A and B are shown apart, each in its own frame.
Chain A
């Protein structure tokens, strides 16, 4: 074959299905448990779930979360209980989307969306404040001008929490033990890991 032997690989690939997508025109569907930018959830009555306990900030390996709590105003409480998240900031120049904050959160207040397409030309914009992180009155993330949301990415916000289970015990998988979300009610459990893998449940 001589000098044409190198083209053999090309010729073989030419007729196979293409793996490359034309990003950003085409956006692939992300896995249900993808780790993207965070949201702060609210209860169905509109109260914030965050109680300002700082466990997320304490566990964060990148030290990107800054939280300060304060006394709930008795006549107009922000969250149920004594304390609420008075300051909540995440620096996305530092965040590594490990989701340890989501695991640490005792009230499922912080979860992650699938969004990772955001960029700034200003360091201040990289620090998301509580106003930006908190879901809106319909329970949807607030879209920032520099974020590119593909359709549906703002819907399924806490799949990852619901797929796993409290205290990490396998027998709780699929059992509803979380509170309802504003605009969405009590969400269904996500598919189990076995279902995602397309294999039989192993006992």
Chain B
């Protein structure tokens, strides 16, 4: 809910709007109550998710007993209030405000990207005067000017509603734009030399009520009436933001944020919003190919599949099932993950499968720790952040944590290794030496237990949290890929002792949670059950089940480097770029007998593949995806794939047929339904239920069936009658299932299915708190401990293959504390020699206030020389020596 409603209580009041008696919660704003009761009061500046300001004067109404004409957006409803929105004086005010706004508006609607879905157009038509009395010359500005690499500003069209500046400050926390000048020269300005480089800048374009803020990637690409829309879920990161994906002429052109209250509340990050461009990148591989005498040759699908199946068959026969390994799968849909798990574990019989690439957390913990939902943040007793910089890796989760900390005043403890985006909003900050997170966690447990922890920050936080109800939500992720997951796991073991603690996983890859849930991890089978517990359940359903637990990503790569992996399948994975230790990944790809790439692009890893099977990507395929809270949502198929690309799950099915096991799955819905029948955590999540449920279904299904809201309408994005609302929260109407006969039946069916599996199938895995002990080795006085995390615009495929995002990549440099720079004895920006136990590289060094002394930060970029060359995965932490180049 909006911050403005924080004070509302549940007390109901009765008021009259235009002669109709309505009931509303006391303190709600009149404009919202009117809209909910079918009376649309025109507005420009008011946005439901932001504080009201009453700037545009468009929503003035008459209220009996109140002097003048109060703005409906700042007037809370009260008992006995009588409001009028359509009296003659109110109409005259609306006429006057619109005529006044249009004095300075250029009316270049035919060339304006907003034309056709413009709130100013729509509301002028509905509430405005027929003509203008203004005959003078209008104001002129240079048009348009860039505010950032993604957002353009047309100052002539701006009506100074302040939605963008308020968004930047209130919601995004990046107050980089503000109003400058006065009266008709008033305009949105950035600070000198500082562009509007917010990760959330695209949202200002979506909520702008005129065509003043424009998306550079969408500029002049289409008009609103060209676009067709599909509801979808963004898979750029694991937050699972809801979006409306729009295309024209089989090209993706725009993604708008849909207001899913439980997840993104209407907002998107810029990488998600503009990342659709990579789908149409020229670099896409569109035809299958196999290596013939050291050169890749395009072949037909049957030939390619036959070649891969033969290699698999031979490897199984000669070297046993565990000579086959599958890496990746976190980028696809749940259906892709399930089909590949069934192929790997149920047909081939190997457990050497991992969706993570050594940069996440053990599946064991992700699947077994008690889970929080994103909405729990708002009601939490306290939030503990132990993980990466959410602003860089899970931007919309960052917005939600920030909202909880700022608007809901939930105490936030920042235990990240260096300063992160949320640090300014934290109640307390405690920086431990990277690798010793467990110590901090134990201190916190002590402090919450009422004992002094020895850390003033943690004590202050514990004091703030004491007496608050609700769960303690721990946002848990790998704070640094330069250290192993063990310290984080040790901290998790400590946290798990807290009363009413829940964990929110901060793993970043799009569908990594879906992949892990469905068993794309060693030791697990679909539906959050362990291999040992689930063997008896899956053995009669599948052809086979692996005999023993297999290797994780690191183990697979080591085995491959030693020549023990005969067939290595890269399921949309690029270990050379993503595995913390590049050298090992390179050796593994070279050492593997036969490399099969199921991917959309050639990467450093897939370039060396022996068979390349091109797959469809987001926007081209239907299916479901699971976000970090376990919410299963549907993906929208908006464009037809080019070339002869195939869905990943279908590739798995085709290979299975050639290995003598027909999955008998024809359509993607059949895969979803099979998951709902065999995977214990997913039991009941059938395609039909997911189609009807507006907010998806949170796993395990049985515990969340009561939350299901059944959709009763479509996206309200381009209303046939009434104004277009893409600038207001985009929603889907929904109702309790009881109000919809057959939907209630579907929910009952899901419940039945879930209960049946609860009786018959193995129980969900629970994490064993047997702590991972062992502290990080002490570092010597001259070493700097490396902290490495992702940046939003990294060297990954989405950034580099999206022309709008690629220029936003920043140069990477080694960031150190000023004190350490002085000790090294060099100037800012100098090239230095950086040595770890693994390699020596030359990098520029800079100071950054966010880095504590004794620590060095280096972004984990997906290409080039950087952290991945230095990181040594055999040790728990990576220490660096930094020397001048003489």
- Is A54 in the interface zone, CB < 8 Å from B? yes
Docked Cα-Cα span, A57 to B116, in Å, equals 13
- Give the Cβ gap from B475 to chain A, nearest Cβ, in Å: 43
Q: Which residues of B contact A57 (CB under 8 A)?
A: 226
The 6 closest A-B CB pairs, nearest first, are A53-B110, A83-B111, A69-B220, A54-B223, A106-B110, A58-B225
Interface check B261, CB cutoff 8 A: no
Q: Which residues of B contact A155 (CB under 8 A)?
A: none
Flag if A69 contacts B111 (CB, 8 Å).
yes
Whether B219 lies near A53 (C-beta < 8 A) is no
Chain A 32-66: CB-based contact to B (< 8 A → 1; otherwise 0)? 00000000000000000001111101100000000
**B212 → chain A, closest Cβ, in Å?**
14
Closest CB in chain B relative to A100 CB, distance in Å = 14
Which among B108, B222, B223 has the greatest number of chain A C-beta atoms within 10 A? Answer: B223
| Cβ of B706 under 8 Å from chain A | no
B205-228 interface bits toward A, Cβ cutoff 8 Å, 1 = contact, 0 = none: 000000000000001111101100
Contact call B220/A70, Cβ cutoff below 8 A: yes
B152 → chain A closest CB, angstroms: 10
Q: How far is the CA of A55 from the CA of B116 in the complex (A)?
A: 10
A58–B110 CA distance with the chains assembled, in angstroms: 12
Q: How far is the CA of A19 from the CA of B253 in the complex (A)?
A: 57
- Which of A68, A69, A70, A81 makes the CB contact (< 8 A) with B108? A81
Which listed residue, A58, A71, A82, A106, touches B223 by the CB 8 Å rule?
A: A58
A140-197 residues with Cβ-Cβ distance < 8 A to B are none
Is B143 an interface residue, CB under 8 A from the partner?
Answer: yes
Q: A54-B222, A68-B221 are in contact. List 20 more A-B contacts (CB 8 A).
A: A52-B111, A52-B220, A53-B111, A53-B115, A54-B223, A54-B225, A54-B226, A55-B110, A57-B226, A58-B116, A68-B222, A69-B111, A69-B220, A70-B220, A71-B219, A71-B220, A82-B111, A82-B144, A106-B110, A107-B110
Q: List 15 A-B contacts (CB under 8 A).
A: A51-B110, A53-B110, A53-B111, A53-B223, A54-B222, A54-B223, A55-B110, A57-B226, A58-B116, A69-B111, A70-B220, A71-B219, A81-B111, A83-B220, A107-B110
Question: CA–CA, A51 to B112, complex, Å?
Answer: 11
* Residues of chain A within 8 A of B223, CB atoms compared: 53-54, 58
Contacts of B110 in A (CB 8 A): 51, 53, 55, 106-107
Q: Mark A95-120, 1 if CB is under 8 A from B, else 0.
A: 00000000000110000000000000
B111 contact set on A, CB distance < 8 A: 51-53, 69, 81-83
Q: Closest CB of chain A to B862's CB: distance in Å?
A: 32
- Residues B141-156 near A (CB distance < 8 A): 143-144
| B interface residues (Cβ-Cβ under 8 A, vs A) | 108, 110-111, 115-116, 143-144, 219-223, 225-226
Q: Which of A62-87 contact B (CB under 8 A)?
A: 68-71, 81-83
A103 CB to nearest chain B CB (Å): 14
CB distance from A166 to the nearest CB of B (A): 12
Residues of A within 8 Å of B108, CB to CB, are 81
Chain A residues contacting B219 (CB-CB under 8 Å) are: 71
Closest residue of B by beta carbon distance from A55: B110
| CB-based nearest B residue for A106 | B110
For B116, list chain A residues within 8 Å (CB): 58
For B225, the chain A residues whose CB sits under 8 A away are 54, 58
Complex: A81 Cα to B156 Cα, angstroms: 14
Q: Which chain B residues border A52 with CB–CB below 8 Å? A: 111, 220
Give the shortest distance, in Å, between B225 (CB) and chain A (any CB).
5
Residues of chain B contacted by A54 (CB below 8 angstroms): 222-223, 225-226
Can you name the residue of chain B whose Cβ is closest to the Cβ of A104? B110
A51 to B, closest residue via Cβ: B111
The count of residues in chain A whose C-beta lies closer than 8 Å to any C-beta of chain B is 16
Q: Which residue of B lies closest to A52 (CB)?
A: B220
Least distance between A49 CB and chain B CB atoms (Å): 11
Q: Are A82 and B143 in contact (CB under 8 A)?
A: yes
**CB neighbours of A70 from chain B (8 A):** 220
Cβ-closest chain A residue relative to B224: A58
Report the Cα distance A55→B144, complex, angstroms.
22
A70 to B225 CA separation, bound complex (whole angstroms): 17
Q: In the complex, what distance in Å separates the CA atom of A52 from the CA atom of B111?
A: 7
Looking at the assembled complex, report how far the CB atom of A64 sits from the nearest CB atom of chain B, in whole angstroms. 15
Whose C-beta in chain A lies nearest to the C-beta of B219?
A71
| A81 / chain B contacts, CB cutoff of 8 Å | 108, 111
Most buried by B among A51, A52, A54, A57: A54
Question: Within the complex, what minimum Cβ distance (angstroms) separates A66 from chain B?
Answer: 8
Determine how close the nearest CB of chain A comes to the CB of B181; give it in whole angstroms.
Answer: 23
B219 to chain A, nearest CB (A): 7
What's the least CB distance linking B636 to chain A, in Å? 24
Chain B hits for A53, CB < 8 A: 110-111, 115, 223
Contacts of B115 in A (CB 8 A): 53
Contacts of A69 in B (CB 8 A): 111, 220
Q: How far is the CB of B163 from chain A (nearest CB, A)?
A: 23
For A70, give the chain B residue with the smallest CB separation: B220
Cβ of A107: which chain B residues have Cβ within 8 Å of it?
Answer: 110
Question: Which residues of the partner chain A approach B144 to less than 8 Å between Cβ atoms?
Answer: 82
Residues of B within 8 A of A82 (CB): 111, 143-144, 220
A23 to chain B, nearest CB (A): 40
Give the distance in Å from the alpha carbon of A52 to the alpha carbon of B226 in the complex: 13
Q: Which residue on B lies nearest to A71, using beta carbons?
A: B220
Q: How far is the CB of B116 from chain A (nearest CB, A)?
A: 8
Closest residue of chain A to B131 (Cβ to Cβ) is A167
Chain A residues in 8 Å Cβ range of B143: 82
Tell me the minimal C-beta distance from A27 to chain B in angstroms: 37
CA distance A54 to B226 in the complex (A): 9
- In Å, the complex CA distance between A52 and B220 comes to 9
In angstroms, Cα B115 to Cα A53, docked, is: 9
Contacts of A83 in B (CB 8 A): 111, 220
Q: How far is the CB of B332 from chain A (nearest CB, A)?
A: 33
Residues in A neighbouring B221, C-beta threshold 8 A: 68
Q: With the chains together, A54 CA to B222 CA distance in Å? A: 8
Report B873 CB to chain A, min CB distance, Å: 48
Nearest B residue to A83 by beta-carbon distance? B111
CA distance A58 to B225 in the complex (A): 7
| Residues of B contacting A58 in the complex (Cβ-Cβ under 8 angstroms) | 116, 223, 225
CA distance A106 to B220 in the complex (A): 17
Question: Residue among B110, B115, B143, B219 with the most chain A CB within 10 A?
Answer: B110
Chain B residues whose C-beta falls within 8 Å of the C-beta of A51 in the assembled complex: 110-111
Complex Cα spacing A107 to B108, Å = 11
What is the CB-to-nearest-CB distance from A171 to chain B, in angstroms, rounded to a whole number?
14
How far apart are B428's CB and chain A's nearest CB, in angstroms? 50
Chain A residue at smallest Cβ distance from B116: A58
Question: How far, in Å, is A47 (CB) from chain B's closest CB?
Answer: 14
Task: Collect the chain A residues with CB atoms within 8 Å of residue B222's CB.
Answer: 54, 68
Return the chain A residue nearest B226 by Cβ.
A54
Q: In angstroms, how far is the closest chain B Cβ from the Cβ of A38?
A: 18
Residue on B nearest A79 in the bound complex, by CB: B111
Residue of B nearest to A81 (CB): B111
Nearest-neighbour CB distance to chain B for A172, whole angstroms, equals 13
Complex Cα gap A69–B223 (Å): 9
The smallest C-beta distance from B638 to any residue of chain A, in angstroms, reads 19
- Across the interface, which residues of B come within 8 angstroms of A68, CB to CB? 221-222
Q: Which residues of B have CB within 8 Å of A71?
A: 219-220
Nearest A residue to B225 via CB reads A58
Query: From residue A31, how far is it (CB to closest CB) to chain B in Å?
Result: 30
A52 vs B113: C-alpha distance in the bound complex, in angstroms?
11
Closest to A58 in B: B225
The smallest C-beta distance from B124 to any residue of chain A, in angstroms, reads: 15
How far, in whole Å, are A70 and B218 apart by their CA atoms in the complex?
11
A57 to B115, CA, bound (A): 14
State in angstroms the CA–CA spacing of A82 and B156 once bound together.
13
Q: Which residues of B contact A55 (CB under 8 A)?
A: 110
User: How far does the alpha carbon of A58 sit from the alpha carbon of B220 in the complex, in Å?
Assistant: 15
Chain B nearest Cβ from A162, distance in angstroms: 20
Chain A: minimal CB distance from B169 (Å): 30
- Complex Cα distance, B217 from A71, in Å, reads 12
CA distance A51 to B225 in the complex (A): 17
B831: shortest Cβ distance to chain A, in Å?
A: 39
Hey, which chain B residues are within 8 Å of A106, CB to CB?
110
